Amino acid sequence: MHHMPLKPFAPKLKTAGLLLLLVLVLAACGTGKYLSKGDKRFAQEQYERAITYYKQALAKDSTSAEINYRIAEAYRRSNRIAQAAPYYKAALDGGSKREDTYFYYGLALKANGEYEEALNQFQDYARIGSNPQLKANAAKEVETFGNLNDILRGKQAYDVQNLLALNTDASEFAPYVLNNELVFSSTRGAGKVYLGNGEGFLDIFAATLSDSTKLTDSTAALGGAVHKFDGINVEGLHDALATFANDGSTMVFARGNEGTKKGRQNVDLYISFHRAGGWTEPKLLNINDPQAWDSSPAFSPDGKTLYFASSRKGGLGGNDIYKATLDDNGRFSAPENLGPGINTPGNESFVSVGPDGTLYIASDGLPGLGNLDLFRVENGKPVNMGQPVNSPGDDFGIFFQDKYKGYFASNRAGGRGNDDLYLLQKSARKQVNFFVDGTLFQLPEGARQRDAVPSHPVVLQDEQGKRLRDVTTDASGKFTFALDTASTYFLVAEKPGFFTARQRITTVGKMPPQDQLPNEVNEVRLTATLVLNEIVKEKAIVLENIFYDYDKANIRPDAAVELDKLVQVLQDNPKITIELSSHTDARGSDAYNQDLSQRRAESAVEYIISKGIDRARITAKGYGESRPVVKNAKTEEEHQRNRRTEFKVVRIQE
């Protein structure tokens, strides 16, 4: 994978005793030979080779939770966590007692875009986990899911295209435009295989950019337009992530990870200068930490500041972004951590600086769509770049050629293989992001005014009633959801003792004309009010607009629309049992009105039952003219008020 060779491996498992016991147990069923070979390679961090042996063991014992877990771990540790998902699942299905499986399975699901199921795994681990660090990470992931709402819906005004003519089934990443060439890093080409992930060693390449449209054409033949950087790449070492200053005459890049046991942590930054038509012998920079991984360099446009990522001690965890300034004598200052506003306990790397000085980073520790996401730093804070730039996979290493056009890398689904390079262009069409801002109230019986409900869940459903997302109201009862264009939703809130609050909201027909949009990215904000009304037994609630033809009990289409609302109330409040009653006016005989009202009530109940409501939850009752709301009615309006259909809650299931 892309950054795997230039990223430190996770610490080795300290489970030698358990492994030995496992080997002895499994040897009896013919898996021991392959398992011990896999364990040996795993311990040497040769994960691709380990996977081969583990899969041979799995062929003999397909239900083994431990073998599946080991395969999943090998994928995760070689930066391919999306591929680990089915093996973590098989480990859990096989009865794995390793609790961290829940957490890592959640990460794998998230990397595959299966967000709801991932959330369930994180919630499970946050509840049952005992590892303090993973427990905190799981809680953070649960919290992050609240931000997915906006990230998923807030699509950005970019067009993204795969550089089909350039990408291969190997990895291509780290784009940089230099003198009409696209410089990039790749594992392509014959040569030694890096045993950490089974790919080739990384080298720095360049491709001519005379016509960038050819790069996105799968039928274009680039041929000799792609070449290696002479004098920089070394056989059996990773050379990658080039950045340039001084009009391309100064290059800083990352080198290391020769694949020997002692060489895995020795990724460092090197500098080379273009002299007399060639590059000078690369020299180690004095800002490297010998005990840490130092990589992902990026010069500011003026060449005076070098940003880079490092795993050195004293950071905020994982890889952090640092910067060092260059003085007039060509010496770098001591590196400075960019601090908690940018860095997290997760990994921040693949930094770049736009032509206007804007900083861009990749992070898996900030709220995102899965694995590494790209962020733009605005007012000192990283802002997720949203779709289509980000995906559930790794999205990283962005480089802006100008304010309208750039390149980045991604291993998202649908590419040529592993990491691919993508062209990024500002869309000519102005973007509109829809939001609904709502307030949740409750109205207790007898209260004169409704009260805001703080810290309470509100659910967003689609038009078919499927739960999409949920948020929690703030201290003032307010909440917000991002919405799609031309879509219809329901906002729903529940509380024991209150009727479920439901409101329909739609963006259909709400799109402003393009010529009325002031910005490249615009917001349209809708408003909503949800009210939870207290359930009071035996309190009559009038169903408005339930009309019957004179002397008839059949359900008219306009009455059906209103009865559908009662069906929804019964679906939303499954614990209530109701009596539905029909009332006539005082005209006509008492006995006839009693019979007519009973037939009308039964007709309404049969309609409601036909919509899937349990017959045991609803009773029909005709009261004839015995319970007028206007006694001694004289006018037609007064008679109409007496001709009504009501319901009341008669029982609430505890």
pLDDT tier for residue 22 given thresholds of 50, 70 and 90: low
606 or 155: which leads in pLDDT:
606
Domains annotated on the chain, with CATH: 4-153 (1.25.40.10), 158-426 (2.120.10.30), 431-533 (2.60.40.10), 541-652 (3.30.1330.60)
DSSP state of 464: T
Q: Residue 494: its pLDDT value, please? A: 95
Least confident of 30-44, 165-179, 244-258, 616-630: 30-44
Pairing verdict, β 576-583 and 618-624: parallel
* pLDDT at position 355: 93
Q: Is residue 407 a contact partner of residue 174, using CB atoms and an 8 Å limit?
A: no
pLDDT band at 11 (very low <50, low <70, confident <90, very high): very low
* Structure tokens given for 194: 């890096």
**pLDDT over threshold 50, residue 264:** no
Token pair of 126 as six digits: 């946050």
> Helix (H, G, I), strand (E, B), or coil: what is residue 429?
coil
Q: Which residues contact 310 (CB under 8 A, 6 or more apart)?
A: 289, 292, 293, 294, 295, 319, 320, 322, 335
pLDDT mean over 200-214? 79
Q: What is the CA radius of gyration of the chain?
A: 32
Query: At 20, which helix (H) or strand (E)?
Result: helix 16-27
**Tens of pLDDT along 221-231?**
665 678 888 77
Structure tokens at 574: 């499954």
Asked if residue 112 has pLDDT above 90, the reply is: no
Give mean pLDDT, residues 306-310: 96
pLDDT for res 352: 95
Lowest mean pLDDT, pick from 52-56, 152-156, 285-289, 419-423: 152-156
CB burial of 99-117 (b: ≥16 within 10 Å; e: otherwise) equals: ebbbbbbbbbbbbbbbbee
Res. 126 pLDDT band, cuts 50 70 90: confident
**Residues, the chain, total?**
654
Q: What's residue 16's pLDDT?
A: 47
Tokens 């996979």 correspond to what residue?
A: 393
Q: Are residues 160 and 389 in contact, defined by beta-carbon separation less than 8 angstroms? A: yes
Mean pLDDT computed over every residue of the chain: 86
pLDDT band at residue 211 using 50, 70 and 90 as cut-offs: low
Residue 245 structure tokens: 């200053």
CA distance linking residue 598 with residue 620, whole number of Å: 7
- Which of 210-219, 298-307, 352-361, 479-488 bottoms out in mean pLDDT, i.e. has the lowest? 210-219
Partners of 400 in the beta sheet? 406
Closest CA to 556 of 645, 636, 635: 645
3-class SS letters over 120-161:
HHHHHHHHHCCCHHHHHHHHHHHHHHHHHHHHHHCCCCEEEE
At 363 the pLDDT is: 92
Which among 335, 390, 316, 388 is positioned nearest to 360, based on CA atoms?
390
Host H or E run for residue 437: strand 431-443
Enter the tokens of residue 506: 């739609």
Helix 65-77 vs helix 100-111: crossing angle, to nearest 10 = 50
Alpha-carbon gap, residue 75 to 635, rounded angstroms: 80
Q: With a cut of 50, say whether residue 4 has pLDDT above it.
A: no
Instruction: Report the candidate in 374, 407, 412, 366 with the shortest Cα–Cα distance to residue 391.
Output: 412
Local confidence band at 199 (pLDDT 50, 70, 90 cut-offs): confident
The larger pLDDT score, comparing residue 613 to residue 113, is at 613
Report the pLDDT value the prediction gives residue 349, as an integer from 0 to 100: 94
According to the model, what pLDDT value does residue 643 have?
A: 81
486-516 tens-digit pLDDT: 899 999 999 999 999 999 999 998 999 888 9
Among 127-136, 405-414, 617-626, whose mean pLDDT is lowest?
127-136
Q: Is the pLDDT of residue 640 over 80?
A: no
Tell me the range of 108-117, 167-176, 209-218, 635-644 where mean pLDDT is highest.
167-176
- Coil, strand or helix: which one is 642? helix
For the chain, the distance separating the N- and C-terminal CA atoms, rounded to the nearest angstrom, is 55
Do the beta carbons of residue 383 and residue 374 sit within 8 Å?
no
Per-residue DSSP letter, 219:
T
Condensed to tens digits (0 to 9), the pLDDT of residues 565-602 reads 999 999 999 999 999 999 888 787 888 889 989 999 99
The DSSP code sequence of 580-627 is EEEE--S-S-HHHHHHHHHHHHHHHHHHHHHTT--GGGEEEEEEETSS
